[in-house]
Structure 1
Amino acid sequence: MLSLENNPIDDSAADVIKSAFIINSSIENLNLSHCAMTQTGLLTILSALEYVSCLQYINLQSNNFTKEVAEKMLNVIQMNNKLKKIDLSHCDVPQSYLIAYINLTLSDPSHIQGIDFSYNDCNIVSEDYGSLENYYLANNIPLTYLNLSHCKLSDVKTNGILCSLWCSSVRSLTYLSLSTCTIISERSLMYAISNNRNLEYLDLSDCKLQQKDIIVIAECLRTTRVIQYLLLSCNIIDDISAKKLAETLSSYLSLKQLSLSNCKLQENGMLQIIGALQCTTSLQHLDLSHNVVSDGAAIYIAIALSCNTSLECLNEQLCFV
């Protein structure tokens, strides 16, 4: 494993790294995230990775991709058929190349387990590469990790991804993040969650979810009961959907994080959710910020959570207590 995360790599250092790769081609895990590399440096390192046949994990997060760099990355993906996880989040990858990466990683899906293309703009359907969801539908994908948050996906494309996650044979997801993606079909959402019963991390923050969507999520999560991280911030949760969510959460004894910030929760709904969390002794992070809370509700929250010794962070900032 080679990790140089958060260390600036200039062009001369990139030459040294390339030489090391050529000498030692057995590197399996490479983390060069936040390294502020120039185009020349990235091209140098990516050309060296063509010699690394055992590469399983590559993280180039927050390095800016030009068209030339994106083209070289295509070659790396093509030549490394043992890749299990790719992280190109925050890389400003050109749209057509991002879809091309998805094409390559999913066209021979026997080894790909994790894809993180978050904070890139992939809201296109390319005639050359096809649409994202078609690759899920066409292949048997052993994905366990899928992060497409903040990808500017349209509501139609988001729905296509959700459909693919229940129409295809994807059943192994443990991590799913579609934060800021607009969800228009609760039916697609229902099947996508219920068909992946090993989900431990679910982030649907700021997805414009409303009452019927939250109720669907609550019902689906009753069948899994392995969720440890549930992020639903910046959606609308009224008293009715809060009650359904509370009923589900009451049986979640392994929940570690619950984020319900800015959900327009009213006092009755919040009290029901807090009441359900009294038995959840594993909770470490609870975010209720930007919801209206009265003095009486605040006292109830403090008492209800007092028995939870694992709680590390309780965020009620700007709740107008």
Structure 2
Amino acid sequence: MDIKGSEKKEAEGPKKSPFDLIFGQIQRKKSDKGKSSIFQVKSLFRAFDKDAAKTDNEKNEKELDHKSISEDQKSDNVVSGSAEEEDSDSTGWWKVTHFMEKFGKKADIHYINLNNCELTAVDIKELGSLMPFLLDIEEMDLSWNDLIGGSLKLMTPHFNHVSKLRILNLSNCGLTGDDTAVLGESLHYIPKLQVLDLSWNNNLGGTLSRLLQNLVDNGELKSLSLTECSLTAEDIQSLAPVIGKMSRLEILDLSENKEVGSKIKNLTEELKHCSCLGVLKLRSTGLHRDSVQYLSSAFQYWPYLRKLDLSCNKAAGGGFGESAACLTSFKQLQLLDIHQCCLSEDDVAALTQVIPLLSNLQVLDMSSNKTVGLSPEHLFSRLRFLPKLKSVNVSNCMLKKESFAGLAEATRYLTDLQTLDLSWNKCVGGNLKLLTETLSNANFLQSLLLSSCNLITQDLAALGSAAQASHLDNLQQLDLAYNDTVPDEAWSLLFESIPALKNITELDISLRPASVRDCGPWFIHLISNIPKLPMMKELGMQRWTLSTAEQQQLNRICKEKNISIHYD
């Protein structure tokens, strides 16, 4: 055997038998089968993982979609809710507008004005139901509706919707004691209330305590008006301590309640705590001489008082003699009304010294105090020291010629004078020229009242001359009524010059109630010149007798010029 063949066989390895071949194939099949199984298992798990991932992705997508849908639905609900609210508000305001239109009024988000609209309980109930749409209302005026008495309970429960209400006017509404109670119970709903007017509700007398027990908690109240409410002494007694706690009170009106005077001492003591008081009205409240003295003891506590009305207290005469000096505490006093107080001579003498010191006084009413006319003329001549005076009323004061002359002279300095009432002073007759000559500086005079002054021809001539001289250019009201002493020729002089009164709106030439008189030749001047008065609105001609033709002429002219005629 050669060597090369042997090496070749060794390189190729040992020769395998058939059994080895068969066994090897079997091993290979098992190995391939195992690999295939492992591959199949791995493939199965890979498929499961893929399906799981797919499921998770689908689940996340669904959750996102669901969340997106929920958000969209939520957004749609919000938009829908907002739209519904807007629709509701729109519908509500339409109801408010429709309600106001029934009474010829316009709806306002801040102001409800239903004054003198003949409201009934049904209307009050409807108004209450509309309050949810009046959230910004600040003022409500239901005054002079006397049919709503007893029905406030239909409205006050809804006050919780109008918490911004500042002004509530219920004067002359026929209110009852029950109304007072339910109003008191609802005051906590309107904590910002500043003005409350319950005047001219006569049935409130004896029931005020039902309101006061809640009113005391209102620290914002600035104005309280209870004029002519038939208040009893007990009402005033219970009111006094409540007022003492109203630190912001600026206006108090208790006029026309006769029992106030009997409790004025209690009231005065509490009013001393009201340092912000600016207006005090006690007209016709049963004040007597001692009452005025009690009241004057509190004057020093009211540095901001602007208006003081003590008028129509006939028993107060004699109380101003010692109290007048206290008026000087009022550095800002603008109105002093003491008409019809039966002033004594001592009162007038004291007031003569004090009134000229009230440098900011604008309105002075001393009418119907006959002792004023008995005083020396210097009371009126000293009015020249009050340059801000706008209104002077000394009607029915039995003025003497000297007093009238002093007043006439003072008007030279009263450049802001707007109203001058000299009615029922007979001394004016025959002396009016003393006044007309001094009116050249009274550029703002609007009302000149000369009723029942025994005027004569020269007085009307002086009046006509003043008009033609442009001294009465701003005059709007001229009252010449009850001057039966004026002859026909004097009326002619007036109506010839009346076109110079270009701003006149009211003219009264009526005669006394017991008089009857035919129109004279002056009537032709009247109908000729009335059309030349562009501002004319009212003409008083009572007790003048007109023929049918004259009446037709006057009616036609006044209809064309829209002038109201008052005649029999």
* TM-score, normalised by the number of residues in structure 1: 0.88
Contact 1:10 1:41 (8 Å CA) reproduced: no
The letter for the 1-side match of 2:345 is Q
1:272 corresponds to which of 385, 406, 415: 406
Contact 2:228 2:256 (8 Å CA) reproduced: yes
Question: What SS does structure 2 have at the residue aligned with 1:76?
Answer: helix
1:257 corresponds to which of 391, 399, 402: 391
Specify every segment of 5 or more residues in structure 1 that has no aligned partner in the other structure, as ranges. none
Larger helix share, 1 or 2: 2
- The separation in 1 between residues aligned to 2:266 and 2:183, in whole angstroms, is 30
The letter for the 2-side match of 1:173 is L
The letter for the 1-side match of 2:442 is N
Name the CA shift for 1:68/1:219 in 2 (closer, same or farther; >3 Å). Answer: closer
| Displacement of 1:38 | 4.0
User: Is 1:133 matched with 2:133?
Assistant: no
- The separation in 1 between residues aligned to 2:338 and 2:205, in whole angstroms, is 31
Name the CA shift for 1:78/1:65 in 2 (closer, same or farther; >3 Å). Answer: farther
Match of 1:315 in 2: 449
Match of 1:99 in 2: 237
- The separation in 1 between residues aligned to 2:309 and 2:277, in whole angstroms, is 13
User: Is 1:88 matched with 2:223?
Assistant: no
| Displacement of 1:48 | 2.1
Contact 1:176 1:203 (8 Å CA) reproduced: yes
Question: What SS does structure 2 have at the residue aligned with 1:310?
Answer: coil
- The separation in 1 between residues aligned to 2:390 and 2:362, in whole angstroms, is 5
Match of 1:155 in 2: 289
- The separation in 2 between residues aligned to 1:188 and 1:171, in whole angstroms, is 20
Match of 1:117 in 2: 254
The letter for the 2-side match of 1:298 is L
The letter for the 2-side match of 1:243 is H
Name the CA shift for 1:51/1:69 in 2 (closer, same or farther; >3 Å). Answer: farther
Match of 1:174 in 2: 306
Contact 1:253 1:279 (8 Å CA) reproduced: yes
Contact 2:236 2:263 (8 Å CA) reproduced: no
| Displacement of 1:176 | 0.5
- The separation in 2 between residues aligned to 1:79 and 1:125, in whole angstroms, is 23
| Displacement of 1:258 | 0.7
- The separation in 2 between residues aligned to 1:49 and 1:119, in whole angstroms, is 26
- The separation in 1 between residues aligned to 2:164 and 2:444, in whole angstroms, is 41
| Displacement of 1:47 | 2.9
| Displacement of 1:217 | 2.1
The letter for the 1-side match of 2:330 is N
Name the CA shift for 1:103/1:171 in 2 (closer, same or farther; >3 Å). Answer: same
Specify every segment of 5 or more residues in structure 2 that has no aligned partner in the other structure, as ranges. 1-138, 456-568
- The separation in 2 between residues aligned to 1:43 and 1:140, in whole angstroms, is 26
| Displacement of 1:274 | 1.5
- The separation in 2 between residues aligned to 1:8 and 1:119, in whole angstroms, is 19
- The separation in 1 between residues aligned to 2:367 and 2:202, in whole angstroms, is 29
- The separation in 1 between residues aligned to 2:204 and 2:227, in whole angstroms, is 14
Name the CA shift for 1:42/1:277 in 2 (closer, same or farther; >3 Å). Answer: same
Match of 2:212 in 1: 74
RMSD: 2.4
- The separation in 1 between residues aligned to 2:374 and 2:406, in whole angstroms, is 9
Question: What SS does structure 2 have at the residue aligned with 1:279?
Answer: coil
2:379 corresponds to which of 244, 264, 271: 244
Contact 2:288 2:319 (8 Å CA) reproduced: no
| Displacement of 1:34 | 2.2
Q: How many pairs does the alignment contain?
A: 313
| Displacement of 1:104 | 1.1
- Structure 1 residues 156-305: aligned runs within 5 Å: 156-166=290-300, 169-181=301-313, 182-186=316-320, 188-235=322-369, 236-238=371-373, 240-247=375-382, 249-305=383-439
The letter for the 1-side match of 2:193 is L
User: Is 1:27 matched with 2:169?
Assistant: no
Query: Cα deviations across residues 157-213 of structure 1 (Å, max 9, x unaligned)?
Result: 2221112324xx332211111112314244542232101111001111112223332
Query: Cα deviations across residues 203-227 of structure 1 (Å, max 9, x unaligned)?
Result: 1111222333223223223333110
Name the CA shift for 1:38/1:267 in 2 (closer, same or farther; >3 Å). Answer: same
| Displacement of 1:311 | 1.6
Contact 1:124 1:131 (8 Å CA) reproduced: no
| Displacement of 1:286 | 1.2
- Rg larger for: 2
| Displacement of 1:234 | 1.4
| Displacement of 1:74 | 1.2
| Displacement of 1:42 | 4.2
- The separation in 1 between residues aligned to 2:446 and 2:214, in whole angstroms, is 42
- The separation in 2 between residues aligned to 1:233 and 1:295, in whole angstroms, is 18
**What's the % identity of the aligned pairs?**
22
Moved over 6 A (4+): none
- The separation in 1 between residues aligned to 2:430 and 2:220, in whole angstroms, is 57
Match of 2:469 in 1: none
Name the CA shift for 1:114/1:158 in 2 (closer, same or farther; >3 Å). Answer: same
- Structure 1 residues 33-52: aligned runs within 5 Å: 33-52=171-190
Query: Cα deviations across residues 118-142 of structure 1 (Å, max 9, x unaligned)?
Result: 100212249xxx62233345x3632
The letter for the 2-side match of 1:61 is S
